[in-house]
């Protein structure tokens, strides 16, 4: 994977945690929760276990009409605090959200207060120890938090 070229633009920010948080806030990339800087090495690590061409587009993400490439998903997953082993779930959830019957553009742009929800079940939920029980969004549910933040 390291020989594969990553195409996303690079941004130089001051080498300070707070400066990075402030920059992400100013760009509208965070809701105020801390952001993990998506360094090239972390993005490559996220992509490594999944495989595939980083420039592969899963489809057009509404309402911005942006291409949801594996590289862009990996960047966002890193920023949300996902671990590489969670990335296949992120890709699967993105594929589901891009299905025309889901109507992502309508859900994302409505003024009616719609919320997107991911239900992760089966062997992968057990393997990643995803809490689907009481207080699943609370403390002690590491895989759930970044997956939720990625789509908020």
Identify any residues that bridge with 136 across adjacent strands, giving them in sequence order: none
Q: What integer pLDDT is reported at residue 152 of this predicted model?
A: 41
Residues 131 and 141: beta-carbon distance below 8 Å: yes
Instruction: Please tell me the pTM assigned to this model.
Output: 0.78
Cα–Cα distances (Å) from 119 to 16, 131, 136, 144, in that order, read 36, 11, 11, 10
Write the Ramachandran bin of 25: left for phi over 0, alpha for psi from -120 to 50, otherwise beta.
alpha
Residue that the structure tokens 């509404």 belong to: 62
SS (H, E, C) 85-111: HHHHHHHHHHHHHHCHHHCHHHHHHCC
**Gap between the Cα atoms of 93 and 88, Å rounded:** 9
Neighbour count for residue 68 (Cβ, 10 Å): 21
DSSP secondary structure of 1-70: -TTSPP-SPP----S-HHHHHHHHHHHT--SSS------HHHHHHHHHTT-S-TT-EEEEETTTTEEEEH
Domain boundary assignment for the chain: 17-151
Please give the chain's pLDDT, 152 residues, in tens: 556 788 888 888 777 888 888 988 898 888 888 889 899 999 999 999 888 899 999 999 888 888 999 999 999 999 988 889 989 999 999 999 899 988 888 877 778 877 777 788 889 888 888 877 777 766 666 655 555 455 54
């Amino acid at each position: 994977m390291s020989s594969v070229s990553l195409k996303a633009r690079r941004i130089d920010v001051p080498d300070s945690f707070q400066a990075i948080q402030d920059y992400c806030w100013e760009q509208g990339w965070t809701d105020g929760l801390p952001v993990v800087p998506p360094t090239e090495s972390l993005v490559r690590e996220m992509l490594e276990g999944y495989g595939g061409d980083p420039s592969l587009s899963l489809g057009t993400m509404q309402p911005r009409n942006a291409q949801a490439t594996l590289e862009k998903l990996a960047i966002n997953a890193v920023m949300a605090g996902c671990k590489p082993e969670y990335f296949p779930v992120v890709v699967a959830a993105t594929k589901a959200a891009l299905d025309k019957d889901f109507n992502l553009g309508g859900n994302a742009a409505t003024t009616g207060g719609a919320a997107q929800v991911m239900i992760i079940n089966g062997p992968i939920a057990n393997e990643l120890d995803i809490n689907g029980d009481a207080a699943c969004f609370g403390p002690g549910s590491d895989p759930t938090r970044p997956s939720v933040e990625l789509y908020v």
